[in-house]
């Protein structure tokens, strides 16, 4: 309770912390800041620590209450996008750009490594003793205790890097690979295809699952709501449908969802709030420039960093700002643990807000 163990908070990547865990809004008071190195990765939190990768090639463990460095481990990787995942006492993170390592979360000692021989940029997902990975053309499922391969699903040839983390709910794993435009639902037990849906566009964001619906967003700005069990399209929303524009709008980060509303940032610098049932826009808040980060939600506020250098807390009902703080450009998702919000910036500083 009070931890943030994976990208998007839960295996459905909703980014939503409910009131029993976080009952009060974070007010934007800076508790501490710690300089490490430029940060593209999102932090995960647990065991009283934050775990965050930096482009200096190190994975850092920081104390949640003070920001003090507990340990750091050089992983021979620029860690540009390598958000780790925490399950129990074990941390999973990309190393050497193409391998996954399991580390002792208390010390940083490496237990095992698994080599994929493909670029690994998407955050791993660790749940119920299994680790799910997505590389350029392949989805992998490993045994979390020893790193042994359980199954792999391979499609396509070399394409864009896969940036979407696998999403798991029940007996299904959902993934969009960089090698194509298909969105896949796979059987968790054996990797067999349950259904697929062609988005006709590159898939950059992690899928989001809530109730009986799975949501996926594309590079050129279309959001799809699909029936979770069949893949049938329920609705789609395009950022470009009603605008006479010469520049195509789109989505680079992932989405968040709470109380029937989806929140997502776009290239034009807006955070958009959509009705998750009908696919209609409710409100839109414009920042200074593109939002490449992923929002998170807690206590009626949605938190997101922008390329304009500010980290924003917006009212989920109206989209009006409750507060903002100049952190420098943010590309990653914030994390919330033990009543603090943590966010890393491209200026190399990790910030904690109370």
The full set of domain ranges for the chain reads 28-353
**Is 4 within 8 Å of 340 (Cβ atoms)?**
no
> What is the pLDDT, as a whole number, of residue 21?
57
Q: What is the DSSP letter of 4?
A: B
Q: How far is CA 319 from CA 1, 23, 33, 115, 263, in A?
A: 28, 20, 27, 44, 10
> What is the pLDDT, as a whole number, of residue 338?
87
**Rounded to whole angstroms, how far apart are CA atoms 50 and 33?**
13
CA 253, chain centre distance (Å): 8
Residues of the chain with pLDDT under 50: none
Helix (H) or strand (E) holding 149: strand 149-154
Minimal CA–CA distance to 8: which of 273, 294, 265, 259?
294
> What is the pLDDT, as a whole number, of residue 146?
98
Domain 28-353 matching CATH 3.40.50.720: the answer reads no
**Rounded to whole angstroms, how far apart are CA atoms 226 and 155?**
21
Q: What residues does 352 pair with on adjacent strands?
A: 32, 342
Q: What are phi and psi of 109, to 5 degrees?
A: -65, 135
Burial of 213 (C-beta count, 10 Å sphere; 0-12/13-18/19+): middle
> What is the pLDDT, as a whole number, of residue 241?
79
**Rounded to whole angstroms, how far apart are CA atoms 25 and 30?**
14
**Is 293 within 8 Å of 306 (Cβ atoms)?**
yes
**Rounded to whole angstroms, how far apart are CA atoms 2 and 44?**
11
CA triple 57-59-64, angle to 5 deg: 145
**Rounded to whole angstroms, how far apart are CA atoms 112 and 115?**
10
CA torsion sign for 92, 94, 96, 98 is positive
> What is the pLDDT, as a whole number, of residue 23?
56
Task: Evaluate if pTM is beyond 0.75.
Answer: yes
């Amino acid at each position: 309770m009070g931890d943030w163990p994976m990208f998007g908070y839960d295996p459905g990547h909703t980014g939503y912390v409910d009131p029993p865990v976080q009952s009060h809004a974070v007010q934007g008071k800076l508790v501490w800041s710690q300089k490490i190195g430029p940060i593209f990765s999102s932090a995960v939190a647990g065991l009283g620590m934050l775990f965050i990768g930096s482009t200096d090639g190190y994975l850092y463990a920081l104390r949640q209450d003070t920001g003090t460095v507990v340990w750091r481990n050089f992983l021979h990787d620029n860690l540009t996008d390598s958000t780790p995942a925490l399950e129990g006492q074990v941390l999973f993170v990309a190393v050497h750009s193409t391998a996954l390592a399991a580390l002792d979360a208390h010390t940083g000692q490496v237990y095992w490594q698994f080599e994929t021989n493909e670029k690994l940029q998407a955050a791993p997902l660790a749940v119920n003793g299994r680790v799910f990975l997505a590389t350029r053309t392949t989805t992998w499922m490993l045994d979390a205790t020893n790193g042994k391969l359980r199954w792999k699903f391979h499609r396509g040839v070399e394409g864009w890097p896969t940036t979407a983390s696998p999403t798991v709910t029940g007996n299904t794993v959902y993934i969009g690979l960089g090698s194509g435009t298909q969105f896949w639902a796979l059987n968790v037990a054996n990797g067999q295809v349950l259904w697929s849906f062609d988005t006709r566009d590159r898939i950059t964001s992690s899928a989001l699952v809530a109730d009986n619906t799975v949501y996926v967003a594309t590079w050129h700005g279309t959001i799809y709501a699909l029936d979770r069990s069949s893949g049938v399209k329920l609705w789609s929303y395009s950022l470009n449908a009603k605008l006479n524009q010469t520049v195509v709008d789109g989505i680079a980060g992932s989405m968040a969802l709470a109380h029937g509303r989806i929140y997502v940032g776009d290239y034009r610098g807006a955070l958009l709030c959509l009705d998750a049932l009908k696919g209609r826009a409710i409100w839109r808040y414009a920042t200074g420039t593109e939002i490449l980060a992923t929002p998170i939600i807690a206590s009626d506020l949605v938190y997101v960093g922008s390329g304009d250098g500010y980290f924003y807390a917006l009212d989920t009902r109206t989209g009006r700002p409750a507060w903002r703080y100049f952190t420098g450009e943010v590309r990653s998702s914030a994390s919330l643990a033990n009543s603090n919000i943590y966010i890393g910036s491209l200026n190399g500083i990790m910030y904690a807000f109370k």
